[in-house]
Amino acid sequence: MPDMTLTRTRLLAGQWEAVLSAPDGARPEIAVTHLGRALAGVEVTQTEEAGQWLLRVPVPLEAIADGVQTFVITDAATGAQLDSFTIIAGEALAEDLRAEIDLLRAELDMLKRAFRRHCVETAV
Note whether 56 and 35 are same-domain residues. Answer: yes
User: What pLDDT is attached to residue 53?
Assistant: 95
The b/e string for 26-65 (b: 16+ C-beta within 10 A; e otherwise) is eebebebebeeeebeebeeeeeeeeeebebebbbeeebee
Residues 82 and 111 in one domain: no
Q: Same domain for 23 and 64?
A: yes
Asked if 78 and 94 sit in the same domain, the reply is: no
Looking at the fold, whether 77 and 105 belong to one and the same domain comes out as no
Q: How many domains does the chain have?
A: 2
Contact call for residues 66 and 53 (beta carbons, < 8 A): no
pLDDT tens-digit series, residues 74-112: 999 888 899 999 998 877 666 677 777 877 888 898 899
Exposure of 1 by Cβ count < 10 A (0-12 exposed, 13-18 middle, 19+ buried)?
Answer: middle
pTM of the shown model = 0.72
45 and 65 both lie in a single domain: yes
Q: What is the mean pLDDT of residues 111-116?
A: 92
Residue type, 61: L
Distance CA 71, CA 13 (A): 17
Are residues 84 and 113 located together in one domain of the fold?
Answer: no
Total Cβ atoms within 10 A of residue 107:
10
Give yes or no: residues 80 and 109 share one domain: no
pLDDT tens by residue, 16-74: 999 999 878 788 999 999 998 999 999 999 999 988 999 999 999 999 988 889 999 99
Residues 82 and 99 in one domain: no
Kindly tell me if the per-residue pLDDT of 1 is higher than 60: no
Same domain flag for 29 and 42: yes
Distance separating alpha carbons of residues 90 and 49, to the nearest angstrom: 40
Could you list the residue range(s) of the whole structural domain that residue 7 is in? 1-89
